[in-house]
């Protein structure tokens, strides 16, 4: 298959990019590939909303910029922070024009929520199902574009580069080029080659590398792993954000999220004794940035030997609660929690990857013709800790920037047929056979998730990281052996990708000889004077 623009991923980043290119280039073909149903994405589960400067009487760009920089613990790229926050309102207006409904008050003004690390109310939301509403509007707009083909149940295996033309490619090879991707069509079980002039990675996060996560099962870091295999630069992988308040249900993952907006509306965290403990950790109490709240909860749980703390909403106005958080209310009712009488058991869970494929201000990766946007990218916005509700915003801003740059590039190069594409061979499956025991893959995945949770969680030490790396080495060897011998399946490829992601997280964590933002190592409890990103 040949296409002009290949977009991998159907979350907010991929859909926004595809829609913009399709509208600007009605004669060009845009292909969106997604490994599950179109809306099974991290985007669909976003609750709190989108942080954006909306109410200039009570907010300002400078305030949002400062909140983002403070949360990011000095590691954000200031230029990127400025441009994302300043371009935010325009991007929001676009998604509203495409049909997204954000909640308004009786006067018709947008209702603005508040979350940790924000100095004021600035979060646009659609009740507590904002992502679902945005995804719906985008998919409906996509359906109207006849030059977009959305192929679901199609798993992208690897990016095609000069490596597939027979050249030896290393990290220091100049001008590595991307010509598209190999995909496993899950309906036909065939491996196909898609040649593209421009390829965009919008593959989302990697929460599945941990035992408990808020991310759905698609979040297996495929984009980061395939970019790393293609020798792209990967950055800041040690900064894994644990959401402080995932609903605690023993043994259940993905976990249901209790949005931070509940604390924004007055919810209070309490420990085993019933004390509101956040005041002992930070003057911003329950609305301190996420790294601080998650570490405080972790500490309270470890001290008391318990598996969760409690979120107290009993004092909150029930009607308002039901109106703003109908999804959470329904979930609580379904498991026998009456929010007016009972406290909600909550614990931190892996939630967001602040690092990823390194891009510049136009979403360009270190590989030619390859862009990245959304959660799989590391743009410089989040630094060492993402400010709540900044990721949907970042995805929209960088989908737009990647669209601008890539259509210019497309026009300049007049590259309607992919460079080098014709000579790229079919996928080589020689020497592989059907897997004899799928259970080996499941077992390895469990081992991986357990080791990452036990040794590379909220609090790290040198010894824990060393242990993690030794165990990852074994898993890597076993999985590579299986991969060489076995016909590819999504399960095997996801395991392989997650092991790569685990390796990148641990390696970056080992390189960072300090504690900053989401990376806390008790062997280096302080910040170092040298502020730098770790690039692998």
**Which positions touch ligand SIN (CB under 6 A)?**
47-48, 115, 259-261, 352, 388-389, 391
- For 502, the 3-state DSSP assignment is helix
Size of site (CB under 6 A) for ligand FAD? 43
Closest CA to 245 of 199, 275, 204, 212: 212
Instruction: Find the shortest distance in angstroms from Cβ 131 to ligand SIN.
Output: 9
260 binds, among ligand SIN, ligand FAD, none (CB under 5 to 8 A by kind): ligand SIN
Q: Is 257 in the site for ligand FAD (CB under 6 A)?
A: yes
**Binds ligand FAD by CB under 6 A, chosen from 130, 199, 378, 521:** 130
Q: Select 325 or 403, whichever has its Cβ closest to ligand SIN.
A: 325
* Nearest C-alpha neighbor of 102 from the set 59, 142, 49, 57: 49
Which partner, ligand FAD, ligand SIN, none, binds residue 11 by CB below 5 to 8 Å per kind?
ligand FAD
CA dihedral 80, 129, 336, 346 (to 10 degrees): 0
Residue-level length of the chain: 536
Q: Is 142 left (phi over 0), alpha (psi -120 to 50) or beta?
A: alpha
Strands (E), 119-189: 123-124, 148-151, 154-160, 180-185
Q: Does 289 bind ligand FAD (CB under 6 A)?
A: no
Question: Which of 243, 241, 293, 242 lies closest to 271, judged by CA?
Answer: 293
**Read out DSSP for 355-372?**
-EEE--TTSB-SSBTEEE
Q: Does 161 bind ligand FAD (CB under 6 A)?
A: no
User: How far, in Å, are 319, 524, 531 from residue 527 at the CA level?
Assistant: 45, 8, 9
User: In this complex, which beta carbon is closest to ligand FAD, that of residue 349 or of residue 468?
Assistant: 349
DSSP 47-114: -S-EE----TTT--HHHHHHHHHHHTTT-S-HHHHHHHHHHHHHHHHHHHHTT----B-TTSPBPEE-
Active-site annotation, residues? 290
Burial class of residue 459 in the structure, from the number of CB atoms within 10 Å of its CB (0-12 exposed, 13-18 middle, 19+ buried)? middle
Residue 68 touching ligand FAD (CB under 6 A): no
Per CB under 6 A, the list member of 3, 31, 43, 500 interacting with ligand FAD is: 43
> Please, which residue, 225 or 534, has the CB nearer to ligand FAD?
225
Binding partner of residue 45 among ligand SIN, ligand FAD, none, CB cut-off 5 to 8 Å per kind: ligand FAD
Q: Of the candidates 20, 35, 164, 193, which one interacts with ligand FAD according to CB under 6 A?
A: 35
CA distance 441 to 423: 34
Point out which span in 91-99, 216-224, 291-299, 526-534 binds ligand FAD (CB under 6 A): 216-224
Say whether residue 389 binds ligand FAD (CB under 6 A): yes
Calculate ∠ Cα 251-355-230, nearest 5°. Answer: 105
48 binds ligand FAD (CB under 6 A): yes
Spatial CA neighbour of 246 closest among 286, 215, 214, 292: 214
- Tokens 């926050």 — which residue? 85
Q: Does 3 sit near ligand FAD (CB under 6 A)?
A: no
Nearer to ligand SIN, 111 or 462 (CB): 111
Residue 159 CB, nearest approach to ligand FAD (Å): 11
Among 241, 253, 391, 515, binds ligand FAD (CB under 6 A): 391
Instruction: State the CB neighbour count (10 A cutoff) for residue 305.
Output: 7
Q: Should residue 378 be labelled a site residue for ligand FAD when binding is judged by CB under 6 A?
A: no
Quick one: which of 245, 198, 428 has its CA closest to 344?
A: 245
Q: Does 366 help bind ligand FAD (rule: CB under 6 A)?
A: no
User: 391 vs 406, which CB is nearer to ligand SIN?
Assistant: 391
- Residue 312: both structure tokens together: 């107290």
Our finding on whether 8 is near ligand FAD (CB under 6 A) is: yes
Q: Applying CB under 6 A, which of residues 14, 267, 383, 517 lies at the interface with ligand FAD?
A: 14
Q: Under the criterion CB under 6 A, does residue 156 sit at the interface with ligand FAD?
A: yes
Residue selected from 7, 13, 81, 372 as contacting ligand FAD according to rule CB under 6 A: 13
Binding mask 307-346 for ligand FAD (x = CB under 6 A): ----------------------------------------
Write the secondary structure of 398-467 as one string of H (helix), E (strand) and C (coil). HHHHHHHHHHHHHHHHCCCCCCCHHHCCCCCCCCCECCCCCHHHHHHHHHHHHHHHHHCCCCECHHHHHH
Q: Is 184 in the site for ligand FAD (CB under 6 A)?
A: no
What is the smallest separation between the CB atom of 202 and ligand FAD, expressed in angstroms? Answer: 5
Binding mask 191-210 for ligand FAD (x = CB under 6 A): -----------xxxx-----
Nearer to ligand FAD, 218 or 301 (CB): 218
Closest residue by Cα to residue 445 from 98, 231, 211: 211
How do beta strands 268-270 and 309-312 pair? antiparallel
Whether the Cβ atoms of residue 237 and residue 508 lie closer than 8 Å to each other:
yes
Residue nearest to ligand SIN (CB): 48
Could you say whether residue 215 binds ligand FAD (CB under 6 A)? yes
Cβ proximity to ligand FAD: between 465 and 493 the closer is 493
Residue 521 to residues 238, 251, 512, Cα–Cα distance (Å): 11, 27, 9
Residue 247 vs 469, nearer CB to ligand FAD: 247
Q: Considering the rule CB under 6 A, would residue 11 count as an interface residue with ligand FAD?
A: yes
Q: Which residues bind ligand FAD (CB under 6 A)?
A: 8-14, 33-36, 41-43, 45-50, 130-131, 155-156, 202-205, 214-215, 218, 222-223, 257, 352, 374-376, 389-392, 395
């Amino acid at each position: 298959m040949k296409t002009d623009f290949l977009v991998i991923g159907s979350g907010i980043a991929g859909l926004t990019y595809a829609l913009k290119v399709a509208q600007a280039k009605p004669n060009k073909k845009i292909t969106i590939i997604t490994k599950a149903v179109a809306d099974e994405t991290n985007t669909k589960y976003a609750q709190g909303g989108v942080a954006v400067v909306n109410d200039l009487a009570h907010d300002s760009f400078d305030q949002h910029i400062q909140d983002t920089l403070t949360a990011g613990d000095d590691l954000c790229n200031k230029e990127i922070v400025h441009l994302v926050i300043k371009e935010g309102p325009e991007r929001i207006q676009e998604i509203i024009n495409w049909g997204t409904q954000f909640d308004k008050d009786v006067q018709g003004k947008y209702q603005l929520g508040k979350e940790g690390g924000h100095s004021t109310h600035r979060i646009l939301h659609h009740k507590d199902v904002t992502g679902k509403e945005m995804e719906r509007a985008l998919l409906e707009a996509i359906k109207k574009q006849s030059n977009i083909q959305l192929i679901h149940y199609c798993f992208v295996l690897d990016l095609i580069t000069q490596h597939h033309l027979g050249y030896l490619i290393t990290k220091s090879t100049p001008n590595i080029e991307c010509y598209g991707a190999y995909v496993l069509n899950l309906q036909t079980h065939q491996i196909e080659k898609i040649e593209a002039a421009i390829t965009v990675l919008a593959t989302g996060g990697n929460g599945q590398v941990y035992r408990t996560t808020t991310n759905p099962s698609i979040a297996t870091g495929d984009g980061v792993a395939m970019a790393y295999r293609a020798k792209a630069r990967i950055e800041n992988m040690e900064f894994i954000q644990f959401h402080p308040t995932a609903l605690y249900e023993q043994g259940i993952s993905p976990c249901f999220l209790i949005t931070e907006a509940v604390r924004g509306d007055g919810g209070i965290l309490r420990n085993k004794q019933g004390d509101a403990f956040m005041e002992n950790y930070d003057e911003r109490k329950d609305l301190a940035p996420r790294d601080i709240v998650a570490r405080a909860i972790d500490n309270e749980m470890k001290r008391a030997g318990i598996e969760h703390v409690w979120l107290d909403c009993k004092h909150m106005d029930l009607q308002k609660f039901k109106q703003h958080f109908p999804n959470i209310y329904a979930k609580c009712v379904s498991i026998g929690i009456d929010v007016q009488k009972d406290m909600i058991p909550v614990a931190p869970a892996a939630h967001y990857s602040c690092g990823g494929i390194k891009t510049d201000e136009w979403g360009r990766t270190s590989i030619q013709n390859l862009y990245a946007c959304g959660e799989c990218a590391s743009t410089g916005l989040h630094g060492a800790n993402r400010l709540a509700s900044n990721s949907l915003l970042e995805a929209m801003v960088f989908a737009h920037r990647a669209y601008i740059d890539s259509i210019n590039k497309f026009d300049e190069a007049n590259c309607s047929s992919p460079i080098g594409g014709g000579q790229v061979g079919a996928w080589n499956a020689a020497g592989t056979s059907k897997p004899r025991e799928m259970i080996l893959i499941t077992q390895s995945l469990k081992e991986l998730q357990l080791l990452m949770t036990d040794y590379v969680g909220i609090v790290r030490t040198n010894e824990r990281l060393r242990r993690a790396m030794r165990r990852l080495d074994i898993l890597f060897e076993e999985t590579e052996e299986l991969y060489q011998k076995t016909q590819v399946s999504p399960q095997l490829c996801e395991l392989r990708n997650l092991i790569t992601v685990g390796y990148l997280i641990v390696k970056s964590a080992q390189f960072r000889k300090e504690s900053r933002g989401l990376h806390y190592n008790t062997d280096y409890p302080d910040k170092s004077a040298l502020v730098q990103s770790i690039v692998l």
